[in-house]
Each structure stands twice: as structure tokens, then as C-alpha cells.
Structure 1
Amino acid sequence: MLKGFREFILRGNVIDLAVAVVIGAAFTAVVNSIVDNVFNPLIGALFRADSLDSAMILRIPTTDGAVAEVKFGAVIGAILTFLIVAAVVYFVFVLPMNVLKEHAEARRKAGEPKPEDPETELTLLSEIRDLLAAERAGSGAHRAE
């Protein structure tokens, strides 16, 4: 029973998944820091608003006398936060990594010799024809002597 558990824990997929979760958590902290400390203050300054959570609230009276609040501003704020996070991930991380990958690929390809055209049946038959023609021409020269 312990042997099976040990094999499960040491299986490559479990380790890879654990690493991905830890790196994902650290990556989330970086992205959230960029959004919270750079983009949100800029947007707040542009629109002169601290938070959309308190904007566009629809108050609906309930049957028991309480008031239910529908917070459209909070939903819009969540959508904007998602779009900002997606933009930060793309422009700060994905795009530069793709550019670096393309440059590395171009450098690698520049150092490789260009592959020759693969031989086809037509090129092989042409070579055989040329060899036979050269052989006939060589044997014809011996007959003339």
C-alpha cells in the first residue's frame, strides 16, 4: 500500500502539476500586483473614481421590508479587472516571450545548413539515364579505336 502511494507521489505528472500550481500562485501574485499598483490607480485617476463597487446600485425593496441591492458597477468593475489582467498577462508576459522565442528560432535556423531537396524518382531516373549515356559514350569510344 505504501509502495503504491510512493509511486503515485513520485510519478512525473503529479510533480509537474504541483510545480505548476506553485508557479501559478506566484505568477498570480505578480499579475495582481501589477494590476493593483499600476493600472487600477491610473484608471481611478482617469475616471476620478475609487471603485465601481459603489456605483450603479439598484435598490429593490423585498417583501419583508429589507432592501436587496443589485450592484451593476461591481460587475462592470470585475469585467474591467479581468480585461486588465488579461492585457497585462498578454503584453507583459506572453508577447515578449513569443518575440524571444521567434528570435531564438531564427538564430537557430540561421546556424543550420539548408536541407537539400529530397531525391524523387524523377531525379534518380535522370541520374541513371545520364550514367547510362556516359557509359555508352565511353564504350563507343573504345569501339572506334
Structure 2
Amino acid sequence: MLKEFKAFIMRGNVLDLAVAVIIGAAFGKIVTSLTEDVLMPLIGKIFGGLDFSGYFLILSPEKVPVALQGSSDYAALKKAGVPLLGYGEFITQAVNFLIVAFIIFLIIKGVNKAMTLTAKEQAATEAAPAPDSAEVILLREIRDSLKARP
């Protein structure tokens, strides 16, 4: 059973998947930073100082601690265990998803284009037959002259 597990782990697909997961996790952090630190502040600036992360609804106002009454700090309210509907955070995560999906689309489009170019180059190489060598030409002449004899 240990040998089968080792064979399974050492297969190329499993190793490729492991590398993809690690790179994906790092890429996710980059996209999150891009969204939260660059794009969302720009979007907020364009739309008049909106901060999407601060958009939420308190579902149970009676559960808000006295110290946080009237607070608009989403993180503090969430940490205090107040039931919240954080639709601003959802908007941020939706933008994250769209960025990741678009980048993956561009990567796949580029890979498909590269694969198409490689296939065309291979087809062009296979389509053009190599010129015949001098020996082949000589053998054909001999064959044709033998066929022409009565």
C-alpha cells in the first residue's frame, strides 16, 4: 500500500497540482492586496469616498455591546460577535473573483494561442518534404531506365 501511495504521489499530475495550489495561494494574496489596497480605494475615490468594506447591516441591534453602540467599525462589531450582513465585504470579494477570473482567462487564451502557433509550425515542417538526396535521384533514374527496357 505504501508503494502504491508513493507511485500516486510521484505521478506528474499530482506534483503539478501541488505546485498549482501553492502558486494559486500566493497569487490569491497578490490579487487580494491589489483589490483591497489599490482598486477598491480608487473605486471609492471615483464614487465620492466610498469604502465598501464599511458597508454592513446590523441584524440584531440588541446584541451590540454598550461600548460599540453607534460604531461603524465592521471589524470591531464582527469581533464582538454581533450578527452582521457585510455586503461591502462581499462586493470586495466579488471584485477579487472577477480579477482572478479575468487573469486566468488571459493566461488560458495565451497558452491556447501558443499551442496553435506550435501546431502550425509543426504542420508546416511536416508539410514540406525534405529534398531528395543525390542517391535517391540516381536510383530513380536507374529504376526508370530499367522500366523503359523492352
Q: What's the TM-score, normalizing by structure 2?
A: 0.50
Which residue pairs with 1:129 in the alignment? none
Which residue of 76, 91, 94 corresponds with 1:83? 94
Give distance in 1, aligned partners of 2:8 and 2:110.
Answer: 38
Equivalence map 1:61-80=2 (5 Å): 61=62, 69-72=82-85, 74=86, 76-80=87-91
Q: Max radius of gyration: which structure? A: 1
Aligned residues between the structures? 107
Equivalence map 1:1-145=2 (5 Å): 2-45=2-45, 46-53=47-54, 55-61=56-62, 69-72=82-85, 74=86, 76-95=87-106, 97-98=108-109, 101-102=112-113, 105=116, 109=120, 112=123
SS in structure 1 opposite 2:50?
coil
Which residue pairs with 1:131 in the alignment? none
Q: CA RMSD for the aligned pairs?
A: 3.5
Q: Return the structure number with greater relative CO, CA threshold 8 A, min gap 6.
A: 2
Identity of aligned residues (%): 35
Which runs of 5 or more structure 2 residues have no equivalent in the other structure? 64-68, 70-80, 125-150
Q: What amino acid sits opposite 1:48 in the alignment?
A: G
Contact 2:52 2:91 in 1 (8 A): no
SS in structure 1 opposite 2:60?
strand
Residues 27 and 71 of structure 1, relative CA distance in 2, 3 Å threshold: same
Which runs of 5 or more structure 1 residues have no equivalent in the other structure? 114-145
Residues 96 and 24 of structure 1, relative CA distance in 2, 3 Å threshold: closer
Shift >4 Å, 4+ stretches: 106-113
Measured after TM superposition, the shift of residue 78 of structure 1 is 3.0
